[in-house]
Amino acid sequence: MWNRLKTPLKALLVIAIVALCVWSITPINQKVKLGLDLQGGARVLLQLQTSPDVPKITSEIQSQVEQVVQNRVNGLGVSEPIISRVGTDRLLVELAGLKNSDEAERLLKEAAVLEMKIMPEKVQQRAAVDKKYADDPNGAYKDSGDVVYKGSELKSASPSFGPTGKPIITFRTKDPKKFGELTSKNIGHWLAVFLDKKLVNDAVIQSTITSDGETTGDFTEEDVIRISTELNAGALPVPVKIIENSSVGATLGAFDLQKSMIASAIGLALVLIFMVVVYRLPGLLADLALIIYVLMLLGLLAINHAVLTLPGIAGFVLSIGMAVDANVLIFERMKEEIWSGKSLRAAVKTGFARAFTSVFDSHFTTIVGAGVLYLLGTGTVKGFAYTLFWGTVFSLVTAVFITRFFTDVVVDNDLVTNTKAYGA
């Protein structure tokens, strides 16, 4: 029963893999993300600085800053930002596809500090007619007394639009009971909202508010998106200083990508031709498996939203060499079995079985090396290690399973029986 069904089932599995890979990478220019070196963007090196509250930069502080920066950068909508630790007190932030590097610099250094105060009526009246007074930290902010609620006590903030269509910020509190008590005790009083000590909104508390509220002001759409992102990300635990800010132009990235793809295509074409010339029919079957291998690796990059960099392309091309190396070992073993007088079926079975140990060992050592490189490396080194690791894994799968499947189909059905077609 299994002998009758195994070939159709294997064929369905191969077809399903190919279909899934094609679906995942279509359209390829949208599904496979390019790194900073290929599509341009910004590279920012941050220096963490001590403060009276934090006299020493520890790994915990570095981790906290990394998380806050990660949250803020994600709000910019850039594709897969790469944040790497440099030493014990620096962070390297790479933002691929970012057009406005000044916005990234400002967002990485600053924090939106939102505070609420109960504003006296005379202060409100003056602030309503005197914008300079409303924006002065020593003006309306100072004259409004103590802070009664902070932005850090907000659960979430999001950009929205008010009834008149003006951009506003809606928020949800972490402690509805506390905010409810605050508003219930001050019904009829002015609640002022200050952002970075500037008055952005004031309103009379007309009823008890518990979990949800909104902040209105003279905001643009970009303002409410930026402020919401900063409020959600939280404040940096220590000050940071930008000690290096460089940009990579899209023109340079496109040039590098074009040259890299041409080199990869030429290398792949030479490999395909070599396999057909030297190993003939098995080489052709290996070429088909190699095409499936390329689809599998691209599919993995697309599904995992991985970023493809120039070192990543290098790892990709190197893993193609590993894939061919596995087939070379197998086919050479097959030829030896044919020369010894065995039938094609026996030569294929014995060739794959006896070459498996060598194929597995060579791939396993590369997988271990790529894994260590990925765990210990930073930045673009990780991209190289990532594609090399998974490329080698897929190389092992395609050599042992897919190439074997194609060969079994040809041999078991006596489609080609001349041993010369197998390079013997």
Taking the domains of the chain in order of start, what are their residue ranges?
A: 2-35+249-422, 41-109+241-247, 114-233
Q: What is the rounded average pLDDT for all residues in the chain? A: 78
* pLDDT at 77 exceeding the cut of 60: no
Q: What is the pLDDT of residue 278?
A: 83
381 confidence band (pLDDT: 50, 70, 90):
confident
State the average pLDDT over residues 346-364. Answer: 83
355 confidence band (pLDDT: 50, 70, 90):
confident
Q: What is the pLDDT of residue 73?
A: 66
297 confidence band (pLDDT: 50, 70, 90):
confident
- DSSP H or E stretch at residue 341: none
Q: What is the pLDDT of residue 198?
A: 80
* pLDDT at 79 exceeding the cut of 60: no
> How are beta strands 114-119 and 190-195 bridged, if at all?
antiparallel
State the average pLDDT over residues 358-385. Answer: 81
Q: Pull the structure tokens for residue 338.
A: 């044919």
* pLDDT at 81 exceeding the cut of 80: no
Specify the higher pLDDT residue, 37 or 220: 220
Q: Which of 377, 375, 373, 378 is CA-nearest to residue 388?
A: 373
Q: Is 350 left (phi over 0), alpha (psi -120 to 50) or beta?
A: alpha
State the average pLDDT over residues 2-21. Answer: 81
- Assigned CATH topology for domain 114-233: Gyrase A; domain 2 (3.30.1360)
Return d(Cα 100, Cα 76) in angstroms, integer: 10
* pLDDT at 223 exceeding the cut of 80: no
* pLDDT at 292 exceeding the cut of 80: yes
Specify the higher pLDDT residue, 363 or 156: 363
CATH architecture of 2-35+249-422: Up-down Bundle (1.20)
Which amino acid belongs to residue 280? Answer: R
* pLDDT at 236 exceeding the cut of 80: no
- Assigned CATH topology for domain 41-109+241-247: Alpha-Beta Plaits (3.30.70)
State the average pLDDT over residues 255-272. Answer: 78
> Minimum mean pLDDT among 135-144, 295-304, 310-319, 339-348: which range?
310-319
Return d(Cα 66, Cα 93) in angstroms, integer: 9
Q: Which of 112, 114, 78 is CA-nearest to residue 98?
A: 78
* pLDDT at 203 exceeding the cut of 70: yes
State the average pLDDT over residues 331-340. Answer: 82
| Contacts for 386 with CB less than 8 Å, ≥ 6 apart | 306, 312, 315, 370, 374
110-123 pLDDT, tens digit each: 555 678 888 998 98
* pLDDT at 246 exceeding the cut of 80: no
Q: Is the dihedral of CA 183, 187, 193, 198 positive or negative?
A: negative
382 confidence band (pLDDT: 50, 70, 90):
confident
pTM: 0.58
> How are beta strands 90-96 and 41-48 bridged, if at all?
antiparallel
* pLDDT at 130 exceeding the cut of 60: yes
Q: What is the pLDDT of residue 356?
A: 83
Q: What is the pLDDT of residue 178?
A: 85
